[in-house]
Structure formats: C-alpha cells, structure tokens
Amino acid sequence: MSQMTVNDRPVQFDMAPDTPLLWALRDAANLTGTKYGCGNGDCGACMVIVDGAALRSCLITIAEAEGRFITTIEGLSRDRAHPVQQALVAEQAIQCGFCTPGIVMAAAALLQQNSAPGEAEIKAAVPNLCRCGVYPRLVRAIERAGRVARRQEKISAAPAPGISAEEAAREVPALRPVVRNGGA
C-alpha cells in the first residue's frame, strides 16, 4: 500500500510497490490527463509536479512517491485558467494536444521557481517532445505566461475550443480514498 497526496486529496494505492506512478494515476485513479508517450523518460508527456518539481511519472514508482505531494493536470487549476494554460491557448501553441498536459506541468513548475525565464531557461526546464513541432510558439507562450504570472499582462481569451463555460467551472473529480489494484 503506497500513500500519497494527489491533487490535495489523500490516496492509497494497493498495487505492487514498483508500479510506475503514471500507471497508478491513469489506470487506478482514472486521472488520464497525464499522458503515456514513451514510457522511457524521453518525451515528457507524463510530467506531473511532485513536491514542487516537474518529474516524469513513468520513471517514479509508487513506492518512491510515498508520502509526497503530487499535482496532475486535473488539479493544477479548477477553471483551467493557470497562466500557462491561458498563454498556450492565446499563442495557439497547441495542435493535437497530446504533449500539452506534460508541457503545462513542466512550465508551471518552472514559473513557480522563476517567473521571468528566458528562452534558454525555458528550453532547459521544458524539454518535452512535441511531434507537431510547436516549439517556437511554446517559448513565446511560456514567456507570456510569466508576464501573466507577474501581473504585467492579462489575457482575456475565450475558453479553449470544445470547453463550455460549465465544463471549465466543473469541480475536479473526487479521488476514491483507497484505490485497489485494477481499480476495483
């Protein structure tokens, strides 16, 4: 049994201790916003924030996550209005969107440490792979997110396409307090 806090809720995973955190989040907790790309630590699609740092959840076991505070894309911002999310939409730095949750988490962790990162710092902290090649717009978006976080700019963008105002305002789904192997 591995216990941790996920999106501000206590969670226990009754799974093998060497289960990757990514598997537990997606398959047992149904937090499928965190994506499975390579499973090898190369792509960054599985990034979550662990105790304030962006980590690849495919490389951490649930035993290693014991007692730690995990934030997934579902828990980052209830109204999906985190500065990084606003800026990615405003700069149209999303195409298919598969890489986007991991990028959002890496960029959000960066801005928590440094709200005015330069291009080199952004590239170092957000090394995520994007098969659609949004990289130039991504750097612009994260620089802009920093300005929003520093309250130097306000983005008054419409919600992302396909997200109604009601859905944008919905509550983060409650996690079951005990998640058993196989999600039963």
Considering the rule CB under 6 A, would residue 97 count as an interface residue with ligand FES? Answer: yes
Residue 123 has φ and ψ, to the nearest 5°, of -65, -35
The residue from 5, 12, 32, 98 that contacts ligand FES (CB under 6 A) is: 98
Using the minimum distance from each CB to ligand FES, give the nearer residue, 22 or 111: 22
At 66 the three-state DSSP class reads coil
State in angstroms the smallest separation of the CB of 35 from ligand FES: 7
Q: Which stretch binds ligand FES (CB under 6 A): 1-9, 93-101, 104-112, 157-165?
A: 93-101
Closest separation in Å from C-beta 85 to ligand FES:
14
The partner residues of 54 in beta bridges, in order of sequence, read 49
Q: Mark the segment that binds ligand FES (CB under 6 A) among 94-102, 105-113, 150-158, 168-176.
A: 94-102
# chain residues binding ligand FES, by CB under 6 A: 22
**Residue among 6 and 106 whose Cβ is closer to ligand FES:** 106
Q: Which of residues 68 and 78 has its CB atom nearest to ligand FES in the complex?
A: 68
Integer Cα distance of 120 and 118 in angstroms: 6
For 6-82, where are the alpha helices, taking DSSP H only?
21-23, 73-76
In terms of CB distance, is 39 or 159 closer to ligand FES? 39
Q: How far is the CB of 95 from ligand FES (least distance, A)?
A: 4
Burial (CB count <10 Å: 0-12, 13-18, 19+), residue 143: middle
The Cα–Cα gap between 141 and 169 comes to 23
Asked if 50 and 112 count as a contact pair (C-beta separation under 8 A), the reply is no
Q: How far is the CB of 166 from ligand FES (least distance, A)?
A: 26
| Bridge partner residues of 56 (DSSP) | 47
Binders in 16-55 for ligand FES, by CB under 6 A: 36-39, 41-46
* Pairing, β 47-50 against β 53-56: antiparallel
DSSP state of 61: B
Query: Hey, which residues between 99 and 138 contact ligand FES (CB under 6 A)?
Result: 99, 130-132, 134
